[in-house]
């Protein structure tokens, strides 16, 4: 096991990783930008190194500066968190080349899964169900229109190198496809530096359900249950829960087995997530993509399994055998995560600002992973996630009731935030009944 770790991230996830590392007596180092100097994660690390201005390209996305900081601090390992450099195979390689331990899967696995077209083909070949779609990236709009004839409408247009819903849209006919294609291409180029576009048959009334996997040092892959991430706005998750109310036992068994096959197909090591679309009426699923890192919503899996996924990541990266810890995992109860964002709760527009008041709910079955405290400035440079409010109950109604109480007790002042959205959702029958899909927020608002 290594004795020091650099966390190449910020905000709530940096803090969450620090907590586990410090409990394991691993010395912690963080890098931070000028914009984040006052945030708690900087103060909580054993050592903090300023690496540049607020703009991500000149700080958290600058692989050379992060590596330099790791060398300067004498860190033995690097944990990338999620976002930023977490799924950058070149960075993972550079970390290993510098003689440091990369807390994550091999650069090769990241690369093979990072390209959505490639990942989709790989999964299909491994016997994991995929939606009808293009096996090659689509180069121009006319090729897209031609491919659409075979795949069929409605279609999902997405960046092959993409993630986080950026540039994704649904096209129901040729006119919409032409528009969606151009948007997707511009964004793909800008955000991911790669204009390749993938077309996939869009599944109507689908639930977005993902499986947590863990690749062990001996090559085995285990599945640690699913998370339902169907509550979304702008194709981005807002609320997640486990277990999924739309997945029956027989489907769960098939999904978990497929996720294990997916991990094994790329020799996956460490924590990863296999995202799927589920047709709840048919109890069928298709592979969507694989995230080769710790997932934002990992806490709900931790709440129901009692595992510490970051600890497992660190131990696996440190060469330890963790098979005893995950040998016989039986999830208990029901957990819900709500992503508290600095945004207008009606239009979902970003709302940076200064936090004048910050009081987190506490108590049995409540977990808050936050990145900020009162007095902090939330800048426009990074995503709007302020905190993850997580609750655990004996069953779904219990968890939902606990969520209502926790939302009511959370006090944030000084900037707009989406707590009112949760109050609304937790009183909305399709959500409380569990019978909802990815269109739930749009329908609640229409």
Q: Does 82 bind another protein (CB under 8 A)?
A: no
* Part in contact with another protein (CB under 8 A); list of ranges 86-94, 131-139, 286-294, 347-355: 347-355
* Part in contact with another protein (CB under 8 A); list of ranges 14-22, 258-266, 375-383, 387-395: 375-383
Q: Under rule CB under 8 A, which residues in 400-419 are in contact with another protein?
A: none
In contact, 210 and 230? CB cutoff 8 Å? no
Q: What whole-number distance in Å separates Cα of residue 241 and Cα of residue 245? A: 9
Q: Under rule CB under 8 A, which residues in 293-332 are in contact with another protein?
A: none
Q: Which of 56, 83, 9, 38 is nearest to 372 (CA)?
A: 38
If the CB atoms of residues 295 and 301 are measured against another protein, the closer one turns out to be: 295
Q: Does 363 bind another protein (CB under 8 A)?
A: no
Q: 176, 320, 379, 432: which one contacts another protein (CB under 8 A)? A: 379
Q: Does 343 bind another protein (CB under 8 A)?
A: yes
Q: What whole-number distance in Å separates Cα of residue 116 and Cα of residue 183? A: 18
Q: What whole-number distance in Å separates Cα of residue 185 and Cα of residue 127? A: 30
| Nearest distance in Å: CB 379, another protein | 7
In contact, 303 and 351? CB cutoff 8 Å? no
Helix (H, G, I), strand (E, B) or coil at 8: coil
**From 65, 293, 339, 367, active-site residue:** 293
For 178, phi then psi, to 5°, come to -60, -45
In contact, 418 and 388? CB cutoff 8 Å? no
Residues touching another protein, count (CB under 8 A): 16
| Nearest distance in Å: CB 198, another protein | 21
Partners of residue 207 on adjacent β-strands:
278
Q: What whole-number distance in Å separates Cα of residue 300 and Cα of residue 308? A: 11
Q: What whole-number distance in Å separates Cα of residue 224 and Cα of residue 282? A: 24
Q: Does 81 bind another protein (CB under 8 A)?
A: no
Q: 95, 144, 277, 351: which one contacts another protein (CB under 8 A)? A: 351
Q: 141, 166, 257, 409: which one contacts another protein (CB under 8 A)? A: 166
Site string for another protein, 189-228 (x = CB under 8 A): ----------------------------------------
Torsion (CA) 419, 421, 424, 428 in degrees, nearest 10: -130
If the CB atoms of residues 150 and 183 are measured against another protein, the closer one turns out to be: 183
With both helix axes pointing from N to C terminus, report the angle between 141-151 and 174-192 in degrees, rounded to the nearest 10: 120
* Part in contact with another protein (CB under 8 A); list of ranges 43-51, 310-318, 380-388, 417-425: 380-388
Q: 352, 414, 434, 439: which one contacts another protein (CB under 8 A)? A: 352
| Nearest distance in Å: CB 61, another protein | 12
If the CB atoms of residues 161 and 351 are measured against another protein, the closer one turns out to be: 351
| Nearest distance in Å: CB 387, another protein | 15
First to last CA, the chain: 53
| Nearest distance in Å: CB 149, another protein | 31
Cα separation values, 414 from 223, 319, 342, 431, Å: 41, 46, 10, 29
| Nearest distance in Å: CB 416, another protein | 9
Q: Does 124 bind another protein (CB under 8 A)?
A: no
Provide the token pair at 34: 């000028």
Q: Does 384 bind another protein (CB under 8 A)?
A: yes
Provide the token pair at 58: 């000149």
Q: Does 164 bind another protein (CB under 8 A)?
A: yes
Q: Does 342 bind another protein (CB under 8 A)?
A: yes
Q: Does 53 bind another protein (CB under 8 A)?
A: no
Q: What whole-number distance in Å separates Cα of residue 271 and Cα of residue 293? A: 6
If the CB atoms of residues 150 and 354 are measured against another protein, the closer one turns out to be: 354
Q: Does 383 bind another protein (CB under 8 A)?
A: yes
Site string for another protein, 221-240 (x = CB under 8 A): -------------x------
Q: 349, 357, 420, 435: which one contacts another protein (CB under 8 A)? A: 349
| Catalytic site includes residue 404 | no
| Nearest distance in Å: CB 347, another protein | 10
* Part in contact with another protein (CB under 8 A); list of ranges 125-133, 297-305, 341-349, 365-373: 341-349
Q: What whole-number distance in Å separates Cα of residue 429 and Cα of residue 426? A: 8
Q: What whole-number distance in Å separates Cα of residue 19 and Cα of residue 95? A: 23
Partners of residue 303 on adjacent β-strands:
none
Mind giving me the DSSP string for 334-353? EEEEEEEESB-TTT--B--E
Cis peptide before 154 (omega within 30 of 0): yes
Cα separation values, 376 from 127, 355, 385, 420, Å: 49, 6, 13, 21
Q: Please compute Rg for the chain using Cα positions.
A: 21
Residues tagged active-site: 293
Q: Where do contacts with another protein occur on this chain (CB under 8 A)?
A: 164, 166, 234, 342-343, 349-353, 379-384
């Amino acid at each position: 096991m290594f004795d020091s770790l650099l966390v190449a991230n910020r905000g709530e996830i940096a803090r969450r990783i620090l907590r586990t590392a410090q409990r394991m007596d691993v010395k912690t180092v963080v890098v931070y930008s000028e914009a984040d100097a006052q945030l708690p994660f900087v103060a909580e690390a054993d050592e903090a190194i300023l690496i540049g201005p607020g703009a991500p390209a000149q700080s958290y996305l600058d692989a050379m500066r992060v590596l330099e900081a790791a060398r300067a601090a004498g860190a033995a390992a690097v944990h990338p968190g999620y976002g930023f450099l977490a799924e950058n195979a070149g960075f993972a390689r550079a970390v290993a080349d510098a003689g440091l331990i990369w807390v994550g899967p091999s650069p090769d696995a990241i690369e093979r899964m990072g390209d959505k077209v490639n990942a989709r083909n790989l999964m299909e070949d491994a016997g994991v169900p995929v939606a009808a779609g293009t096996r090659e990236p689509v180069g121009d709009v006319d090729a897209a229109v031609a491919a659409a004839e075979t795949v069929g409408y409605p279609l999902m247009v997405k960046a092959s190198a993409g993630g986080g819903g950026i540039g994704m849209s649904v096209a129901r006919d040729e006119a919409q496809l032409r528009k969606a294609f151009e948007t997707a291409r511009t964004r793909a180029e800008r955000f991911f530096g790669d204009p390749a576009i993938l077309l996939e048959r869009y599944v109507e009334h689908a639930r977005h359900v993902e499986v947590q996997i863990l690749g062990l040092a001996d090559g085995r892959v285990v599945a640690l249950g699913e998370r339902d991430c169907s509550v979304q706005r702008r194709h981005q998750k807002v609320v997640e829960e486990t277990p999924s109310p739309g997945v029956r036992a027989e489907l769960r068994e098939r999904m978990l087995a497929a996720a294990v096959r997916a991990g094994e197909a790329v020799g996956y090591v460490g924590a990863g997530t296999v995202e799927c679309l589920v047709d709840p009426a048919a109890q069928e699923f298709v592979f969507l993509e694989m995230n080769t890192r710790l997932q934002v919503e990992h806490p709900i899996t931790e709440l129901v399994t009692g595992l510490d996924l970051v600890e497992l990541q660190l131990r696996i990266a440190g060469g330890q055998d963790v098979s005893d810890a995950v040998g016989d995992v039986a999830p208990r109860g029901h957990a819900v995560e709500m992503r508290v964002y600095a945004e207008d709760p009606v239009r979902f527009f970003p709302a940076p600002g200064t936090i004048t008041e910050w009081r987190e709910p506490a108590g049995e079955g409540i977990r808050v992973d936050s990145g900020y405290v009162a007095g902090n400035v939330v800048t426009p440079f990074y995503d709007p996630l302020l905190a993850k409010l997580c609750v655990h109950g004996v069953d779904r109604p219990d968890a939902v009731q606990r969520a209502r109480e926790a939302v009511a007790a959370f006090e944030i002042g000084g900037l707009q935030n989406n707590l009112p959205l949760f109050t609304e959702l937790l009183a909305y029958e399709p959500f409380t009944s569990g019978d909802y899909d990815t269109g739930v927020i749009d329908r609640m608002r229409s």
